[in-house]
Amino acid sequence: MKEKNKSDLRVGVFICRCGGNISDNVDIEMVKNSISAECIVEFENLCSINGKKAIREEIISNKLDRIVIASCSPISHEKIFQNYVNPLNPYLMDMANLREQCSWVHNKDEASSKAISLINASIEKVKKSHSVSPIVCQTPESVAIIGGGISGISAALSIAKGGIKAYLIEKESTIGGNMVKIGKVFSPVKIAEECGLCLLNPLINDVAWNENIEILTNSEVISGSRQSGTFNLVLKQKPTYIDGKKCIACGKCNELCPVNVLDEFNEGLSYRKAIYKPFSQSFPDSYTIDIENCIKCGSCENVCKMGAINFDDEEEIKALNVGSVILATGHEIFNPSLRPEYGYDRYEDVISQNELARIMGVNGPTKGELLTLSSKKRPKRVVMIQCVGSRDEKPDGHKYCSKVCCMVALKNANLIKHKYPETDVILCYTDMRTPGMYEKYYKHCQNNGVRLIRGRPGEIIKNSEDNLVVKVEDTLTKEFIEIETDMVVLSLAMEPSKGTVEIAKLLDVGLTEDLFIKEAHPKIKPVTTDISGAYVCGTAQGPKDITESIMQANAASSKVFELMHNGIELEPFVAEIDKDLCTNCGECIDSCKHKSILTIDNEIVIDPMSCSGCGECLRACKESAISIQGNISEKIYATIDGILKDKKEDERRIIVFLDQIGYTAADNIGINRLSYPSSINIIKVHSINRVSPDHIIHGLKNGADGVFIGEYPGDLMYEKVEKKINKLKDYIKEQGVNPERIQFSKVYIPYFTGLAKSFIEFDKKIESLEEPFFKKGSSKNKEC
Amino acid sequence: MKTKHAHLNEEKLFIEENIVNGKNIEESINDEANEFIPFTNNKGKKIPDNGILLFKSCLISTEYPGVESSTKFVFDKLGIEYIIDHDQSCCTGLGHYSDVFDQYSTTLIAARNFDIALKDKHPNIATMCATCYAINKKASNILNNDDEIRNKINKVFTDCGLKRKYEKGSIDSKNNIFHVAEIIYNKKNEIKEYIDKKLKNQLSNLKIATHHACHYCKVHYNDTIAGVTNPNILDELVESCGYKTIGWFNEKRTTCGAGFRQRFVNKELSLSVTEEKLLSLYEEDVDILIHMCPNCHMQFDRYQPYISKNKNKPLKTMHLNIVQFIAILMGADIESVVGIQTHTVKIKFLEKSD
C-alpha cells in the first residue's frame, strides 16, 4: 500500500474523560479547541465496548488513517486500543497519557496545557507510523535435554507426558547421573533415610518405556546453533561395540573378560571388567566395551550367543533439530588434590563423601560394611571436614556455599551412628546450614551422638604411631585441638561440570563467574537462560539437592510448553538484515549485546526472538544493511516536534526519554499521586539506545530546555548508553552549550519517588541555568 | 571503563588490605578480560632474562651477604643480564610491617626505586627477598591505579627538586616485578649444564626440604608460579639440580614465625611457630632446608640453636637460600661467594667434602 503524504493523513483524536479521572483536572473543552485533527471526539469511558463502537464508526465515516487515543497509560490499555482501532493496523494508533502522566501529577492550571502538548506529540508521532505486523515464530515441537541425571530424567518425563518429543542426551553409557551412586537419600520431614536407587529406578523405567523419549547414551553435542527458534545440534555418538538390540545382558561375556579396570561406579574403590554394565539397574540394559582398556582377546565374542559384539562399531554423527534445549549437565566434585594440607593423595584413609557413600552402599565395594581402606578394619573414629573447596577464598577455591554438604555429611554420619553406635563421628564445620525442615534432621543426628566441632581444620598429618591427626581450632572454645582418627571424610564442593562449560560455549549461553549456567534473572526467571528457548535445571545452574533439581526440571519443562503451545508472537520492532547489502563482515555480531546475531551457512542472520530492537547493530553496520521496521527514528523526531509545538517565550519544556521500565516508574508517580513539574514531557521508547545524539540535539535546538535520559542499570545496553551520553555532553560543551542541560539517570520501577525527585531537581537546575544555549537553527547539525 | 573508574575510590579504601571483594586489585582490574578464566593462572606471565635490576635487600646485605654474591654468580653462569644500582634504597618492608612506615611513605620510596630502574633502562626488578617482592608489587598496583596518590608523590619529587617522576603503568606488578627464584626458574633446564658432577655425588645422601616464603606465595598469589596452596617452585629448582626433595611434609606451608615485629614484641608466640616447624623437620630427619627469603632464613638459622637447647632436641637442619644451594653445586667458593661463614648453623656437608 502506498503511504500518503504526511499532510494528507487524516488523524482522529479520541479523548477519554475516564470517569472524571482525567476530566476533573483537564479542561477537555479547552484541549479540544487547541488541537487540530480531522475529528476530535470526547468520550466518558473509551475502553468500554461502547468506546470501541465509537472509534470504529469514526474511522469508517471519516476515513481516518491514524488514531490518537488520549486516555490512560499505554502500559495499562495499549493492547485493548490496538484491538479497538481495527480495521486500521494496530501500530497506526498512539496513546497520549493524560492520566498517569498528566491529570494525576499536575494541578488544574498546568494539566490542560500539558495535555495539549502530549496530544500534539502523539499526533506528530502517529503521522510517522507505518503499518507493521507482529512476527510469529513457530518452533519445532521437540526438545533436546542435555544430561541424563535426575534433572534431565525429570524434565524428559514431564515433557514427554505433555506430548512433546524429548531427546535425552547422555555422554555416559547409562542414564542416572550422580544420584545412582549416593546410596541413601533422606527426607527431613520423615527423619528417615531411604534407598536412592529405589526412588530413581521407577523413573528410569518410565523414561525407557515412554514413546515420546529417545535416549541417546554415549552421546555428546559437538556443535550447535540456533535460528528463529530452532536449535540445530550435531551429536557425536561413541561406539559401544555391542549391538544394544541383540544384547540380552546375560553377563556371560563379563565372566570371561580377563581385564580388570577400576570401577567408576564405586569411585575407583573396586574393579570391573573391560566389558561391563555400569550398575545392575543401568539403562540401556546392555553391556558396553571400554575400548581403551579392552585387549581384544575375543573371549566375549566367542561366548556371546546373540552375536551382539561388533568390534567394527564406529562413531556416529547425528544431526538433531529441536525447538528447545534444556541444559541438565550437572556438576562435578572439587578436586581434593588442590587442598594438599588434607593429604587426600598421601593418606589412603582420607576419602570423600562420595567414596564413603559407596563404602556404605550395599551395592558397593564392601557390600555396605564400614571399613578403612588401608587396614580393612572398622574405624573407631571418623572425622568429617566440611567446606572443602567451598566457602573458600583461597586460590582454586569456590567462594559460594555448596549448599548440600551439611545435609550429606549429617546423613552419612547418622548412617554410621545408626549401624555402628560405638564409632565416634565428629563433624568439623564452618557453619551448620540446615535450613527449613533439615534443622530437625540436624537435631536428630545430634541426639544420636554425632559430635560437632566448629572449626575448619588446618592440616591432617600422620603422627609417629602412624595414625591420622586432624589439627583444628575449635572456634567456640578458641582451643587448638588435635584429633586422632582412623578415617577422615572430606565434604568436597560441588562445582560446574566440564560438560556445562562446554555446552554453554557451544550454544553461547552465559555463565556466572563461578561457571555455572547463568539464569536470565535469579529471582523471577530461575530456569530461563539468556538464549531464548534454552533452559537450565539441576546442578548445572548451581549447587542444589535432588528435590530442588526436580522442581527446576519441571519448571523448565513448563517453560518449554509455553514456548511450543502456540508459537510466539513478537513485537515487530526488531532488526532485519538486507542480504543483498550485507558483506558478512561480522561487525554487527560483536556489537550485539543480546547475542541475537549469528552466522548460519556463512550468512549473517538476526534472530527476532531475542532481538530487543536496541539498534546497536544499525550503527555497527557500515553497509547500512540492517534496519528496524516501524520508522522509529523518525517517530522520535516527530514526537519531539509535537512536544515543542507552540512553546511560549517564558515557558520551560524538558524532554524525558524512558523505556518500558522507566515509563512504568513514571506511571507509578501518577498512580501514587505524587507530582512533578509540568515542564517534564516523557517520550516512551523501545530501547533507550534508539535515542541518538542527533535526536537529543534536535530537541535542544528546537526549544527543549533540557533532556533527561533514564535507564535501568540492569539493561544490557546501560553502559554503552552512559558512555554515549557522556561523549555527547563533551560535544555540546565544545559547541558552547552547558552540558548540564543533558542528564543521564538510573531508574528503577519501585523507586518512583526517586524519579519524581530527579525530575524536580532537573527542572530546578535547568531553571537556574543561564545562556549560552543553542539558538534555533544557528549552527549546523553535526554528526557526533 | 565506567565501572573501573567508579570503583577506584572505593578500591583505595581497600588498598591497605590489597583485597577488593575477595580479589586482589589486579585481579579485579583484569576481571573483564578474564571473564572465562576461572582459576588462578600464570600462563600470561613472561619472565625476562635481561634488563634486570637486582634489587638489594637490607637483610641480605647485613645478615647473609652470600645470598647476593651467589645470585650474581648464578645469574652470570646462566647468562642473565642484570645491574645493581647503589642509589636504590630499602623497600621499607620490615618497617612497614612493624607499623613504622605507612603505606604512603612505602609507596613513595617504591616510586623512587622504580624511577631508578627505569632511568637505568633495567625495568625488570628481581628481588632476593620475598618482602621486597610483595611490597614492590603492592606499591606498583597503587601507583598505577590511584591517580591521586601518584600525583601527590610526583609533587613531593618536584617540591624537593628531584628529577624524578613516576608515570602511570611504567612498572607493571605482574610483568616487571619478580623474585630471583622466578628468574632462575625460567632457566631451570639450563642449570644442569653448570653443575659440578663431583660435588653432586657427594651431596646425594642429604635429605632436602623447602620453605616457601609467605610473601611470595600468599600475598600476590595470582602471580605466584609453580603452586600456591601446594608451593613447589623451590622443589622444582632443587629437582633441576638433579636432587629430590622430600616434597610435602607436615607444616610445609607454615610460616617461619618471624612475623616482622612479632619476633621482637611477641617472642614466645613467634618462636613457638618456628619450633613447630623445626620439630617437624627433625621428625623428617631433614639435612637442608631451602629458603627464598632472608627473613625466614634468619628466623630459622639464628634461633635454631636456642630452640634446640630449650627443647633439648639435637636440631641439625642446615639453612641455605636456593641461590646459595645452586651456587655451591655450580662450584662457587663457599666463603667468598656463598658466604657460609655468616650462618649460625654450620654448613657441615661442605666441610666434609673439603
Chain B contact set for A464 (CB, 8 A): 283
Find the CATH number of the domain harbouring B323.
3.40.50.11810
Contact (CB<8Å) A514/B250: no
- pLDDT tens digits, one per residue of B309-344: 999 999 999 999 999 999 999 999 999 999 999 999
Say yes or no: B276 contacts chain A, CB-CB below 8 A: no
Q: Mind listing the domains of chain A with CATH numbers? A: 1-132 (3.40.50), 139-237+319-330+497-566 (3.50.50.60), 239-314 (3.30.70.20), 336-494 (3.50.50.60), 569-628 (3.30.70.20)
Number of domains in chain B: 3
Which candidate in A459, A462, A468 is best for mutational testing of the B interface (most B CBs within 10 A)? A459
Beta-sheet pairing, A192-195 with A142-146: unpaired
> Do residues B198 and B174 share a domain?
no
Which set of grid coordinates corresponds to residue B178? 619478580
Nearest CA in chain B to A505: B36
Please answer yes or no on whether B1 and A723 come within 8 Å at the CB atom.
yes
Q: How far is A723 from chain B (nearest CA, A)?
A: 8
Q: Note which residues in 12-31 of chain B have CB less than 8 A from chain A.
A: 22
Contact between B39 and A346 using a beta-carbon 8 Å cutoff: no
Closest CB to B229 among A339, A399, A514: A339
CATH of the domain at B57: 1.20.1050.140
Least CB–CB distance from B2: residue in A394, A514, A719: A719
Instruction: Report CB contact under 8 Å: A514, B38.
Output: yes
- A contacts of B253 (beta carbons < 8 Å): 341
Nearest to A396 among B35, B39, B283 (CB): B39
Q: Are residues B83 and B125 in the same domain?
A: yes
B32 in A contact zone (CB under 8 Å): no
Whether chain A has a CB inside 8 Å of the CB on B283: the answer is yes
Please check whether residues B203 and B139 belong to one and the same domain. no
- Please report, for residues A294, A699, A702, the alpha-carbon distance to residue A776 in angstroms, rounded to integers and kept in the order given: 85, 10, 6
Alpha carbon separation from B9 to A603, B6, B145, B156, B335 (Å, rounded): 46, 7, 10, 22, 52
Residues B281 and B216 in one domain: yes
Tell me: the pLDDT tens digits for B54-109? 999 999 999 999 999 999 999 999 999 999 999 999 999 999 999 999 999 999 99
Please determine, for residue B7, whether its predicted confidence score (pLDDT) is greater than 70. no
Interface of A with B (CB under 8 A): 338-341, 343, 346, 393-396, 399, 459, 461-462, 464, 511, 513-515, 719, 722-723
**pLDDT at position B13 over 50:** no
Q: Number of CB pairs < 8 Å for A and B?
A: 40
Amino acid making up residue A452 = L
Nearest CB among A395, A459, A722 relative to B221 is that of A395
SS3 A27: coil
Residue B33 sits in the same domain as residue B73? no
Instruction: Report the distance separating Cα A583 and Cα B186, nearest Å.
Output: 47
pLDDT of residue A121: 94
Distance in angstroms (rounded) separating the CA atoms of residues B189 and B14: 40
A340 contacts B229? CB cut-off 8 A: yes
| Residue B3 with chain A: CB contacts under 8 Å | 719
Is residue B163 domain-resident?
A: yes
Of all residues in chain B, the percent with pLDDT exceeding 70 is 86
Instruction: Based on the fold, state whether residues B65 and B173 are members of the same structural domain.
Output: yes
C-alpha cell of residue A179 = 544420584
Q: A315-340 as b/e, with b when 16 or more CB fall inside 10 Å?
A: eeeeebebbbbbbbbbbbbbebebbb
Phi, psi of A545, deg, nearest 5: -90, 180
| pLDDT the model gives residue A6 | 58
Q: Quote the CA–CA distance of B205 and B349 in Å, as a whole number.
A: 10
Judge whether B302 lies within some domain.
yes
What pLDDT is attached to residue A706?
A: 94
Residues B206 and B108 in one domain: no
pLDDT digits (tens, 9 = 90+) for A628-652: 888 888 999 999 999 998 888 888 9
Residues B202-211 have a mean pLDDT of 88
Shortest distance, CA A561 to any CA of chain B (angstroms) = 32
Residue B78 and residue B31 share a domain: no
CB–CB contact A395 B228 (8 Å): yes
Which of B341, B348, B353, B282 lies closest to B311, judged by CA? B282
Chain A residue with minimum CA distance to B228: A395
Using 50 as the pLDDT threshold, list the residues of chain A that sit under it. 1-2, 777-784
Nearest-CB residue to A394 (from B2, B38, B229): B229
If asked whether residues B175 and B197 sit together in one domain, one would say no
Using an 8 Å CB-CB cutoff, list chain B residues near A720. Answer: none
Total Cβ atoms within 10 A of residue B182: 24
Domain for residue B44, yes or no? no
- Contact across the interface for A514 and B2, Cβ inside 8 Å: no
- Of the candidates B148, B180, B212, which is a domain's last residue? B180
Both B23 and B95 in a single domain? no
Contact status, residue B207 vs residue B285, Cβ threshold 8 Å: yes
C-alpha cell at A574: 526488531
Domain that holds residue B141: 52-180
Q: What is the pLDDT, as a whole number, of residue A114?
A: 94
Domain check: are B326 and B209 in the same one? yes
Kindly report the backbone phi and psi dihedral angles of residue A27, in degrees, each rounded to the nearest multiple of 5, phi listed first.
-80, 95
Residue of B nearest to A340 (CA): B230
Report how far residue A202's alpha carbon sits from residue A242's, in angstroms, rounded to the nearest whole number: 25
Task: Give the residue from B37, B229, B248 with the most A CB atoms within 10 Å of its CB, the best one to mutate.
Answer: B229
Residues B212 and B297 reside in one and the same domain: yes
**Which value, to the nearest 10 degrees, does the dihedral of the CA atoms of residues A29, A34, A39, A43 take?**
-30
Query: CA–CA separation, B229 vs B224, rounded Å?
Result: 10
For residue B220, what is the nearest residue in chain A, using CA coordinates? A395
Per-residue confidence at B121, pLDDT binned at 50, 70, 90? very high
Of B180, B212, B245, the last residue of a domain is: B180
